């Protein structure tokens, strides 16, 4: 995504300035969904860091994690991210996977539940999506 954002910035910057010269007083908007939303956020950040006087707004719908929490707060004035409900893509990051891994290790060590049973519950959840996974894991701890 970063490669794409850098490439787009390099290719589009001359056109952006051409249009801004043609229409003084205007800014521009960048918008994307899912993978394109990740590129949108990074493009907007890169462009804004090089041209802070140019009005730019980025709208990222269901963006994957592309920034640290601190950086996303710093970009809040010019990037808006929209997430619907429990959408997995925006919440999945290296940190969330690491947290899940640590939680599962702790759970396995403290409940005596075997890995096969946990995988069975996860598979069932992915297929049926009826009971939230965290409630299924809590119910396992009483086994």
Kindly give, in sequence order, each residue whose CB lies less than 8 Å from that of residue 63, ignoring residues fewer than 6 positions away.
Answer: 32, 34, 37, 38, 40, 41, 81, 83, 89, 90
DSSP code per residue over 34-58: THHHHHHHHHHHHHHHH-TTS-EEE
Tokens coding 5: 């954002």
C-alpha 93 chain-centroid distance: 7
Residue in this structure with the two tokens 């009005």, named with its chain if needed = 55
Is 99 noted as a catalytic residue in this protein? no
Is 21 noted as a catalytic residue in this protein? no
Among 4, 34, 72, 93, the active-site one is: 34
C-alpha 127 chain-centroid distance: 24
Among 21, 53, 68, 87, the active-site one is: 87
Q: Which residues are catalytic?
A: 34, 87
């Amino acid at each position: 995504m970063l490669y794409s954002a850098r490439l787009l910035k390099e290719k589009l910057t001359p056109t952006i300035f051409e249009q801004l010269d043609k229409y003084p007083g205007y800014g521009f908007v960048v918008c994307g969904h899912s993978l394109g939303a990740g590129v949108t956020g990074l493009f907007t950040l890169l462009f804004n860091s090089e041209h802070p006087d140019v009005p730019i707004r980025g709208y990222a719908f269901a963006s994957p994690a592309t920034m640290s929490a601190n950086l996303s707060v710093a970009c809040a004035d010019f990037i808006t991210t929209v997430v619907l409900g429990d959408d997995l893509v925006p919440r999945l990051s290296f940190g969330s996977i690491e947290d899940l891994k640590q939680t599962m290790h702790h759970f396995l060590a403290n409940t005596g539940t075997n890995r096969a049973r946990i995988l069975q519950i996860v598979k069932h959840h992915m297929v049926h999506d009826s009971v939230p996974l965290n409630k299924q894991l809590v119910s396992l701890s009483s086994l």
